C-alpha cells in the first residue's frame, strides 16, 4: 500500500526550495553582521563561541553554539560580538585575526523559494525563529548539525553541493522543531493536530476532488461544526476558502512551470469549466491565468 503524503510534505514538494551560504565566517574582537535586505529568508547557524542577536525594539538575545536563527521575512537584525553594540564597529567587516581573543564561528545563508507555495508556511512563522538544534525535540537535528558543521570545516569533493542540500534539510528540521515545540500558529498548527492534519493531507494531495466541509470533517473523524471551528481557529480562514487558495497555488505552479492548457489545469484543480476557473482565479489571485503564465510570476499573493 502506497504511503499517504503528509500535509507538510505536499507543500514542501512544491516549493522548489534552494538554499546556500553567504559566508562561512570566523570572527574575533568587536564585530557585527547583518544579512537583512536580501529579500529572501536568511539564517545564521552558530558553530562555536557566543554572539548576540539584536533587533530594534527588543532586548539583546544571547546565542550559543548550536543555535539556528532564521528570519522568514527578512527582518532587520544584527548579530554582534557583545550584548552592547560595539562602538565604531563596521557592519559586515571581518576584524583582523587575533589568537588571543575569543572566536565565534558561524554559517550565514539563505532560503529561496521559486514557488508561491511558500505563503502558508512563512505566514505561520514568527519574524525571527531561534532553535537550539542541540536541544531540539527532534534528536536527528543534532546529528544534522554535526554533519553540516563537518562539511563546512572539511575540504571534501562535492562539499559545496552537499552543504546546500544539508541547508535545505535544515529548513525542514526548523519547521519540525517549531511544530514539536507547541508554539506554532497558523497553518503549522494544523500539522501538529493529527485529525486536522489528516484532512489537510487529503485536501493537498487531491485539490481537484469535489471537497465539502462535510467530506473533510469525515476524513478528520470530526463533526462538521467542530472541524470548521478548529480549522478557522488555526488559520483564521474557513476550510472552503483555504481550499480555493490552495487550488490557485497549484494552478499558479502549473501555469509557471508547464505548458499545460488552461482548460486542463482548471479540470485538475476541481473546476467544471475554464470560465469558472478563470473567474475564481481572478478573484483569489488578483490577476488572470494568462498574465501569470506570461510573466512567470504573480503580482498579488493569494492570501
pLDDT digits (tens, 9 = 90+) for 274-301: 999 999 999 999 999 999 998 875 543 3
Domains in the chain (CATH in brackets) are 7-180 (2.60.120.280), 193-295 (1.10.10.60)
Residue range 163-182: mean pLDDT, rounded: 84
C-alpha–C-alpha distance, residues 69 and 63, integer Å = 9
Global pTM value: 0.76
C-alpha–C-alpha distance, residues 162 and 147, integer Å = 10
pLDDT digits (tens, 9 = 90+) for 34-88: 888 877 889 999 989 989 999 988 899 999 998 899 998 888 999 999 998 877 7
CB 166 within 8 Å of CB 148: yes
Q: What's the first-to-final CA gap in the chain, in angstroms?
A: 36
Residue range 257-267: mean pLDDT, rounded: 94
pLDDT digits (tens, 9 = 90+) for 139-171: 677 788 888 888 888 888 998 889 888 988 888
SS3 232: helix
Q: How far is CA 274 from CA 189, 204, 207, 247, in A?
A: 34, 21, 16, 14
pLDDT at 1: 34
Cα torsion through 111, 250, 227, 187, rounded to 10: 10
Location of C-alpha cell 507538510 = 8
Amino acid at each position: 500500500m502506497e504511503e499517504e503524503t503528509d500535509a507538510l510534505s505536499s507543500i514542501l514538494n512544491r516549493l522548489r526550495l534552494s538554499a546556500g551560504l553567504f559566508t562561512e565566517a570566523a570572527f574575533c574582537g568587536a564585530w557585527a553582521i547583518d544579512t537583512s535586505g536580501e529579500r529572501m529568508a536568511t539564517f545564521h547557524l552558530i558553530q562555536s563561541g557566543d554572539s548576540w542577536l539584536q533587533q530594534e525594539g527588543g532586548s539583546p538575545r544571547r546565542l550559543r553554539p548550536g543555535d539556528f536563527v532564521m528570519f522568514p521575512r527578512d527582518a532587520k537584525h544584527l548579530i554582534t560580538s557583545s550584548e552592547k553594540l560595539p562602538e565604531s564597529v563596521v557592519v559586515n567587516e571581518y576584524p583582523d585575526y587575533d589568537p588571543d581573543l575569543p572566536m565565534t564561528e558561524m554559517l550565514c545563508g539563505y532560503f529561496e523559494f521559486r514557488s508561491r507555495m511558500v505563503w502558508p508556511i512563512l505566514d505561520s512563522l514568527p519574524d525571527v525563529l531561534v532553535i537550539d538544534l542541540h536541544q531540539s525535540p527532534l534528536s536527528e537535528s543534532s546529528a544534522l548539525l554535526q554533519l553540516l558543521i563537518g562539511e563546512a570545516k572539511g575540504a571534501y569533493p562535492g562539499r559545496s553541493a552537499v552543504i546546500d542540500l544539508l541547508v535545505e534539510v535544515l529548513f525542514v528540521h526548523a519547521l519540525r522543531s517549531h511544530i514539536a515545540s507547541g508554539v506554532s500558529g497558523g497553518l503549522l498548527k494544523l500539522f501538529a493536530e493529527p485529525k486536522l492534519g489528516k484532512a489537510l493531507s487529503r485536501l493537498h494531495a487531491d485539490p481537484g476532488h469535489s471537497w465539502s466541509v462535510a467530506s473533510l470533517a469525515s476524513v478528520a473523524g470530526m463533526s462538521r461544526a467542530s472541524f470548521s471551528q478548529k480549522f478557522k481557529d488555526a488559520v483564521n480562514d474557513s476550510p472552503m476558502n483555504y481550499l480555493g487558495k490552495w487550488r490557485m497555488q497549484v494552478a499558479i505552479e502549473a501555469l509557471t512551470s508547464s505548458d499545460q492548457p488552461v482548460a486542463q489545469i482548471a479540470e485538475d484543480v476541481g473546476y467544471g469549466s475554464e470560465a469558472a476557473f478563470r473567474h475564481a482565479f481572478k478573484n483569489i489571485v488578483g490577476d488572470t491565468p494568462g498574465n501569470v503564465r506570461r510573466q512567470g510570476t504573480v503580482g498579488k499573493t493569494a492570501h
